[in-house]
Structure 1
Amino acid sequence: MKLWATVLCLILACACAHAATPARGRTPLWQPAGGLKQTPIWPAMPPDAQPMPGPETVTIRTEQVGGRPWRAVTNVATPTMTVYPPTGRNTGAVVVVFPGGGFEVLAIDLEGSEICDWLTTRGITCVLLKYRVPSATYDWHCHCRPHNFALSVPSLQDAQRTLRLVRFHARDWHIDPHRIGVIGFSAGGYLVAEASTNYRRRLYPPVDAADHESARPDFALAIYPGHLTRGDGKLNPNVPVTADTPPTFILQAGNDDVDGVQQALVYYTALQAAGVPAELHVYAHGGHAFGLRRTGEPITAWTDLADTWLRTIGISAR
């Protein structure tokens, strides 16, 4: 019986977002296209560094999204950022991208580099964060996850550090230090909420001058976020929304069976109660983990809504 319980637990784990999808093949370590370079965000070892279960690996996932496979990076011990410069007129705005993947892997193209390709055409500088995964305390090897509402501390440390670095380099990068946003998908959407509500928490000691900058995003986009409610209609207490939480755009599908629509509804309700400008879009269909790849589902045109919202708050050039 013990053996069957273990087998059942592993089978159930396959339902987790991204993390349990079988790989079709392995490729060399992920590198950004176009001659762009990854830059380590920590000058030495990251804080609270933990040994990874193996070397950093890129896998090509077997399932198709928008008719194409997607790449997943795991065992990230050295977090990096990649700066994508805007094309055309520079608006001075910048967005830090948090790919999803259940804090187990990173959907590095589907919810990462492809997002930067969209944002840069809007005159926005894009910073793709390859944050640490697996990220404690998240462990997807069983279906019994008591940690499902904990802070993903290593990932949040990486997010805070990156926001501070972006603000520190604002003059060099020709960006406005008061127009720095974040966008995240699935687990990355939760990281958006974590960064938006925990920016005053000092999760690591300062390592250089950049760490004296603020880690608060000026605006945020949470796309099919998870971990925001226990399903009881109450907000996860680890994302304490206040009146200072940045303006937020939220998108989710009503039939999302990975991170249900209650995640978006509860977070939006909390933002409204705190007087935070927020915009919520819920579609009847669309599922989960589609990035911005167009399919037959209307929800995959969500970037049109986001473009309008970014214009409304004075960020996008379109």
Structure 2
Amino acid sequence: MENEGYDPMRWLNDRGYDAWILEYTVAGSSSIRPIYPKPQEEALEAVRQIRAQDRVRILGIWGWSAGGHLAAVTATSPAAALDFAILAYPVISMEPGTAHMGSMRNLIGEDAQPEIRHQMSAQTRVTSETPPTFIFHTANDDSVSVQNSLLFAASMAAHRCPFEILILPSGPHGVGLALNDLKTSWTEELYRWLQNHTPKP
């Protein structure tokens, strides 16, 4: 929660952005597996509640790892109508060979029907209406393959949607903001992108 929740929230706040943290259903907090579609429903409800406050001009979503999958699925949902997305070393695919097996088991189960695998593979959900997206990964991520980010970027390109992808050559999964690590720090590029894709706070 600190590394991929409170730290990013403070980083955004310091730059004039409002930020909320969504504590959504994960396998560890639920005795029922698979947990689909509960996280997806909770994310859409969070979007609805934030918009109901009528305090933001634009609204985006930022997710990390398995939360990156939830962010990607939400960003590609017409019901969310989000303005931008940030995906940090995200799980994207639910297809065998690319999927992060733990995430797939927890979310949809190993025996999920092909149509559910397809529906929950975020790269298949991209349309021309998908909002601008910033994608970050490291090439040697040994937990969630960088192929996930590449799949999503390829779909964005195929639909001519604005995106930026930053792949650093080396860094562990879960690196977070890496503010004090020159080798894996990436937030300067993210902030430049945010300034170009969001109104000035």
Counterpart Cα distance in 2 of 1:244 and 1:138? 34
Percent identity of equivalent pairs: 29
Match of 1:127 in 2: 20
Q: Supply the distance in 1 between the matched residues of 2:144 and 2:5 (Cα, whole angstroms).
A: 19
Partners in 2 of 1:261 and 1:314 — Cα distance? 26
Q: How many residues align?
A: 180
Task: From the two aligned structures, give the one with the greater strand fraction.
Answer: 1
CA shift for structure 1 position 243: 0.4
Look at both structures and tell me which one has the larger radius of gyration over its CA atoms. Answer: 1
Q: Structure 1 residues 311, 182: CA separation in 2 closer, same or farther (over 3 Å shift)?
A: same
Tell me the secondary structure at the aligned position of residue 127 of structure 1: coil
Structure 2 residue aligned with 1:263, among 148, 170, 182? 148
Q: Deviations over 1:59-103 (max 9, x none)?
A: xxxxxxxxxxxxxxxxxxxxxxxxxxxxxxxxxxxxxxxxxxxxx
Give the Å deviation of 1:281. Answer: 0.6
- 1:15-56: CA deviations, max 9, x gaps? xxxxxxxxxxxxxxxxxxxxxxxxxxxxxxxxxxxxxxxxxx
TM-score by length of 1: 0.52
Indicate the residue corresponding to 1:220 in structure 2.
85
Matched, 1:246 2:134: no
Distance across 2 between alignment mates of 1:217 and 1:111: 20
Kindly report the root-mean-square deviation, in angstroms, between the aligned alpha carbons of the 2 structures: 2.5
Structure 1 residues 197 and 137 mapped into 2: Cα distance closer, same or farther (>3 Å)?
Answer: farther
TM-score (normalizing by structure 2): 0.80
- Does the 8 Å contact 1:224/1:264 carry over to 2? yes
Q: Look up the match of 1:292.
A: 177
Gaps of at least 5 residues in structure 1 are: 1-107, 140-146, 201-214
Aligned residue number for residue 190 of structure 1? 69
Unaligned runs of 5+ in 2: 100-116
Distance 1:258 1:175 in 2: 35
- Contact 1:226-1:259 at 8 Å conserved across structures: yes
Does structure 1 conserve the Cα–Cα contact (< 8 Å) formed by 2:137 and 2:166? yes
Aligned pair partner of 2:44 in 146, 160, 167: 160
8 Å CA contact 1:231, 1:262 repeated in 2: no
What is the CA–CA distance in structure 2 between the aligned matches of 1:266 and 1:279, rounded to whole Å?
13
